[in-house]
């Protein structure tokens, strides 16, 4: 995975919301991290507050891994390497 700003920021936001030190980019959002619609709402709200990004909740819930979600958020943000 390329280290773009969002590839670094998104896992950090997820970890903060979950109260973890870090999350692995390959972690499965639902099975490994237990992300559900409530937790997802906190994550997308934090992305909006911190970065001004309006990420639809289904974007998070439809992503399989942290890396997949980070790439999608990066594309929404115009992230480039």
CATH number of the domain encompassing residue 63: 1.10.1200.10
DSSP-H helix ranges across the chain: 5-18, 37-51, 57-61, 66-77
Structure confidence by residue, pLDDT tens digits, 31-71? 999 999 999 999 999 999 999 999 999 999 999 999 999 99
Per the structure, the complete domain to which residue 29 belongs is given by: 5-74
pTM of the predicted protein model: 0.92
* The two three-digit tokens of residue 40, written as one number: 């997802």
What is the model's pLDDT at position 48?
Answer: 96
Number of domains in the chain: 1
Residue 4's pLDDT is what? 85
Residue 40 included in any domain:
yes
Residue 12 forms part of a structural domain: yes
Residue 10 belongs to some domain of the structure = yes
pLDDT at 53: 94
Considering the domain boundaries, does residue 80 fall inside one? Answer: no
Among 2, 69, 58, 1, residue whose Cα is nearest residue 32: 69
In a domain, 33, yes or no: yes
Residue 79 lies in a domain: no
In a domain, 59, yes or no: yes
With respect to residue 43, please indicate whether it lies within any of the assigned structural domains: yes
């Amino acid at each position: 995975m390329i280290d773009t700003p969002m590839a670094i920021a998104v896992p950090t936001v997820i970890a903060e919301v979950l109260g973890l030190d870090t999350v692995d980019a390959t972690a499965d959002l639902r099975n490994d991290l237990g992300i559900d619609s409530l937790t997802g709402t906190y994550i997308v709200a934090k992305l909006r507050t911190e970065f001004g990004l309006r990420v639809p909740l289904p974007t998070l819930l439809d992503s399989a891994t942290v890396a997949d979600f980070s790439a999608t958020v990066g594309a929404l943000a115009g992230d480039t390497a």
